[in-house]
């Protein structure tokens, strides 16, 4: 059974053949959309891990790379965000690890690949936009510190990527989720530059921007200092500092590394 079919089954009760069909339709569309130079015809599909702090450019690079390769881009952060949203809705404390794990076990969190990017479904509802809001962003950071929550997430993420052909991004993909990934990238950038990028992305200025920057710094601190799977580059990751690089420069570097991993 292909890895993705297993994943879709693993995602539970509500999954139906329609989704599988949808997925393969997307995959074949991706295939058609790839430029001729890409290596998607290779029989071996890689697992590519992209980790790093917020604002380093992971999401853009991961999604562009996945598209070029005809791979699936999986944003592991969206899963933490979806769980955080459910905790907000159910009024569950972000500090209550046992309640959060119970909540996770009773949830269906799906990352649905589409041409325009990933959709995130929580118990069948599209929460793609809602999970990007500020309260969920803050909650996701707090929910993700708990070892038992991470254990649940990691197990799901492994199922998702098991068949290869994925670019998975997050904080612990190269260290915990796929320690044997074919390629590990740790994308970093100067904190001030990361904050500025985030401000531009969200088109915010002034006091709101200052508050958002402070929150980003705090989330960074939490990611790097938590006891369970802190944000750190895997020993065998290629570290790319994107501070002075354009998006295209970073992508070109990553593509070169991918090419070295592909047979032929």
Q: Which stretches of the chain bind ligand DC, using CB under 6 A?
A: 54, 76-78, 80-81, 140-141, 144, 170-173, 219, 223
Neighbours of 98 (CB within 10 A): 9
Please tell me the distance from the alpha carbon of residue 99 to that of residue 136, in angstroms, as a whole number: 17
Strands (E), the chain: 47-51, 72-75, 109-114, 117-122, 125-126, 166-170, 183-188, 238-241
- Whether the CA torsion 91, 93, 98, 100 is positive or negative: it is positive
Min CB(175)–ligand DC separation in Å: 9
* In the complex, minimum distance from the CB of residue 16 to ligand DC, in angstroms, rounded to a whole number: 27
Strands 125-126 and 117-122: antiparallel
Q: What's the min distance (Å) between Cβ of 127 and ligand DC?
A: 13
Beta carbon of residue 178, minimum distance to ligand DC (angstroms, whole number) = 11
Tell me how many degrees the CA angle 139-141-145 measures, rounded to the nearest 5.
115
Nearer to ligand DC, 127 or 173 (CB): 173
Q: Which residue from 140, 81, 78 is spatially nearest to 112, judged by alpha carbons? A: 78
In the block, which residue shows the tokens 């993909």? Answer: 173
53 versus 164: smaller Cβ distance to ligand DC = 53
Does residue 157 contact residue 177 with C-beta atoms inside 8 Å?
yes
Q: Which is nearer to ligand DC, 39 or 185 (CB)?
A: 185
Q: Report the residue number, 80 or 94, with the smaller CB distance to ligand DC.
A: 80
Q: Which is nearer to ligand DC, 29 or 239 (CB)?
A: 239
Q: How far is the CB of 245 from ligand DC (least distance, A)?
A: 20
């Amino acid at each position: 059974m292909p890895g993705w079919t297993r994943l879709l089954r693993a995602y539970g009760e509500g999954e139906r053949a329609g989704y599988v069909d949808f997925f393969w339709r997307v995959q074949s569309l991706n295939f058609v959309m790839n430029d001729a130079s890409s290596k998607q015809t290779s029989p071996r599909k890689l697992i590519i891990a992209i980790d790093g702090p917020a604002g380093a450019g992971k999401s853009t690079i991961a999604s562009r790379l996945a598209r070029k390769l005809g791979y699936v881009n999986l944003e592991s952060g969206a899963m933490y965000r979806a769980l955080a949203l459910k905790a907000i809705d159910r009024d569950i404390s972000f500090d209550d690890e046992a309640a959060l794990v119970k909540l996770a076990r009773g949830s269906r969190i799906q990352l649905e690949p589409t041409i325009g990017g990933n959709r995130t479904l929580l118990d069948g509802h599209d929460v793609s936009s809602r999970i990007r809001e500020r309260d969920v962003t803050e909650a996701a950071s707090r929910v993700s510190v708990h070892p038992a929550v991470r254990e649940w997430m990691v197990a799901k993420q492994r199922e998702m990527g098991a068949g290869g052909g994925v670019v998975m991004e997050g904080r612990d993909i190269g260290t915990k989720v796929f320690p044997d990934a074919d390629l590990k990238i740790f994308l970093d950038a100067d904190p001030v530059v990361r904050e500025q990028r985030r401000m531009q992305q969200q088109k915010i200025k002034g006091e709101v921007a200052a508050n958002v920057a402070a929150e980003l710094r705090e989330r960074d601190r939490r990611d790097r200092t938590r006891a369970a799977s802190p944000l750190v580059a895997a020993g065998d990751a290629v570290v790319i500092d994107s501070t002075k690089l354009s998006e295209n420069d970073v992508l070109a570097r990553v593509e070169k590394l991918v090419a070295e991993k592909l047979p032929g």
